Amino acid sequence: MDNLPEEKVNALRKQYNNKPRNYVKTNSVEVIDNAIERFGKESVELALIVKNNAEIRRFTSKNIIAALTEGEENSEDHIHVEFLWNKFKVTKKVKDNTLSTEYLYTESFFIKSLIKSFEQFSDNASQTIGAFANKYNVNTD
């Protein structure tokens, strides 16, 4: 929030305050300011990386699930990862039983999963851009 001009911040706050009471936009200025106060700027900035980018979130979730289930037979398991401001929650459903576990972003397997997701994102983006450039004869040199 430090890099936004004050008038932009005020405009966002005004826009947020005009929303119905039951409407809470996850990334509104007020919500982010409150999260920074509660959890610290570094934690919130890290959380925003995964909360604001669907592809990074998808790759990170898959990597977390792979790290947590390494060596397990999980063909009947349904696992979901939810990213919160200062932690993430992994919910595993096996048949009729559901187990949720929360982890802090300071877990080394999370950091490794996040780093790996950027590598995967880069590879995926490179292939997508290459295919587009080839199809439309765009010179990328």
| CB of 90 closer than 8 Å to CB of 66 | no
Rg (CA), the chain: 19
Residues near 80 by beta carbon (within 8 Å), at least 6 away in sequence: 61, 90, 91, 93
Q: Which residues are 10's β-sheet partners?
A: none
- Residue 51: band (very low, low, confident or very high) from pLDDT cuts 50, 70, 90: confident
Q: Where are the domains of the chain?
A: 1-39, 53-134
**pLDDT per residue as tens digits for the range 75-120:** 557 899 999 999 999 999 888 889 999 999 999 999 999 999 999 9
pLDDT higher than 70, residue 11: no
pLDDT of residue 75: 56
| CB of 112 closer than 8 Å to CB of 92 | no
pTM over 0.85: no
How many Å apart are CA 59 and CA 117, to the nearest integer? 5
